[in-house]
Structure 1
């Protein structure tokens, strides 16, 4: 094995890594500051090393072989490990660091989780900035944005299946029902399954490739709702329910916040359902990065406090 490795130019693996991201010789040459013939020659040598075509020409361009797909993550991990040893990153100190982190989060995270998070960070990391992005329209979009390093972290209820991403379960929340005080559909101040099914609802627009978290959970139990109004904002659901006869189904902490300012009653769901699960999603390359590890630790610490407090 050692004799074989001595005959491999490490730069060839760099070429293979770049081709894995963009399998076009011209684009790879530009990114590597190499000529096209040099990249083509490197690919020829790589084919000999791995005894595989790796990339084959098609009408749509170069297409990776199963072997190339199999090598993608191990090669990237190996290059990352070498880079960390050759060029170790500077020690991260949150008190003086001025990083900017890009985070994609849904309305729940932005409204319930992050206000307290940013309040805390003002004290321990005063120069760190954040760029919050709305949740992705689809799993494919989320995966691509993290893969391209446009996002450092996403907090979401979907779980991408890409081997390039790490998906950690960090939080869960149960659902409750809200209705305005004096709603004529609710008798005896009890929410029954019949009332829930027959009363009009205001609900979120689903994502392009998946329903809202509520629809996914209720759908698994085959619970049907009479949806009269579709809204684009989670936080608008209680406000609409407070002025109409519609019910809304929201996470418990959203209900608790809304009930402080709106004339609403909160009821337990009249069904046994699963909780909404939230995940922290990030690229595998980031798992040993000091700044990124610190950020994940801070988010987990805050979520632990939320779980313990129940509020």
Structure 2
């Protein structure tokens, strides 16, 4: 028997509706109806009858339902055990959409780990942000999107929080002599580099508004990596996610970090994936890998 027929049967038992079963299985209603006709022939029974409350299972359907459910579980366990993903024996290219602050921290960790473990997988990284991640996933066929406080989450996607974070100051200590830590007065009167989605205004500007001061912004950027390159040799201070700032400091001894001397918000970083990949073994492996790499970020 075609196993897809058993999947249709189980979905009809759960949903009690051809329309809902079709949506759950990503099939047309016609395809589900055709499968039901085949099932009726195989079991020589109506199996489901239409009623005021949807599709009602017959006595025969209720009788075979537990056996079909157990059979599908057994097959699923068998397939999973036989096809467990092995990154050392795969040429899979994982596509990951993430913002550049996260890319700077995560990409090198992922590449380093893959090299240390002798894995044969590879990665493609694509730029996105909290607003554009749905578009990035479609355009690039991304297996995973990683961003801070993602917007527009829907039932078509699943998400998991990776860690919490806040903001910190970063500057070129050879170009500007701040106190350690930076004082409130130094911060309020310093020359700033702004990093924001549109390059026009960010949350730090609102902090300055609360202090009734005009922020001295000398340059605006839409990407953290570009902003970091610009502050080398300049007296600008940036305010950016703490994990990104510390990652940049690891790569350049001229850079230093300091707490922001104003009350700044916290946020969470999450990974998002297509619900169709929820049980895909390669996708499950990738999510576990990212979880392991980010366990220590907020500790």
TM range (shorter): 0.5 to 0.7
Alpha carbons 1:218, 1:273 under 8 Å: kept: no
C-alpha change, 1:278 and 1:91, in structure 2 (3 Å) is same
Match for residue 102 of structure 1 among 79, 85, 95: 95
After superposition, give the CA deviation of every residue in 1:127-158 in whole Å (9 maximum; x if it has no partner). 2122211115x63x422444688111011013
Matched, 1:129 2:122: yes
State the secondary structure of the residue aligned to 1:168. strand
Match for residue 227 of structure 2 among 221, 233, 237: 237
In structure 2, C-alpha distance between the alignment counterparts of 1:296 and 1:225, rounded to whole Å: 40
Alpha carbons 2:174, 2:254 under 8 Å: kept: no
RMSD after superposition: 4.5
In structure 2, C-alpha distance between the alignment counterparts of 1:233 and 1:286, rounded to whole Å: 30
In structure 2, C-alpha distance between the alignment counterparts of 1:149 and 1:264, rounded to whole Å: 34
TM-score, with length taken from structure 1: 0.61
Find the counterpart in structure 2 of residue 301 from structure 1. Answer: 292
Match for residue 157 of structure 1 among 135, 148, 157: 148
Matched, 1:249 2:242: no
Matches within 5 A, 1:47-196: 88=79, 90-124=83-117, 126-136=119-129, 139=131, 141-146=132-137, 150-160=141-151, 161-181=153-173, 191-196=182-187
Alpha carbons 2:160, 2:272 under 8 Å: kept: yes
In the alignment of these two chains, the number of paired residues is 249
After superposition, give the CA deviation of every residue in 1:42-87 in whole Å (9 maximum; x if it has no partner). xxxxxxx799xxxxxxxxxxxxxxxxxxxxxxxxxxxxx99x8599
Structure 1, unmatched stretches of 5+, are 21-27, 33-37, 39-48, 52-80
Matched, 1:266 2:257: yes
TM-score, with length taken from structure 2: 0.64
C-alpha change, 1:222 and 1:19, in structure 2 (3 Å) is farther
- By how many angstroms is 1:269 displaced? 0.8
Alpha carbons 2:149, 2:267 under 8 Å: kept: no
After superposition, give the CA deviation of every residue in 1:170-205 in whole Å (9 maximum; x if it has no partner). 023332223344767x67555333432332211224
Match for residue 292 of structure 1 among 272, 278, 283: 283
In structure 2, C-alpha distance between the alignment counterparts of 1:86 and 1:255, rounded to whole Å: 44
Alpha carbons 1:97, 1:125 under 8 Å: kept: no
In structure 1, C-alpha distance between the alignment counterparts of 2:298 and 2:179, rounded to whole Å: 32
In structure 2, C-alpha distance between the alignment counterparts of 1:255 and 1:244, rounded to whole Å: 17
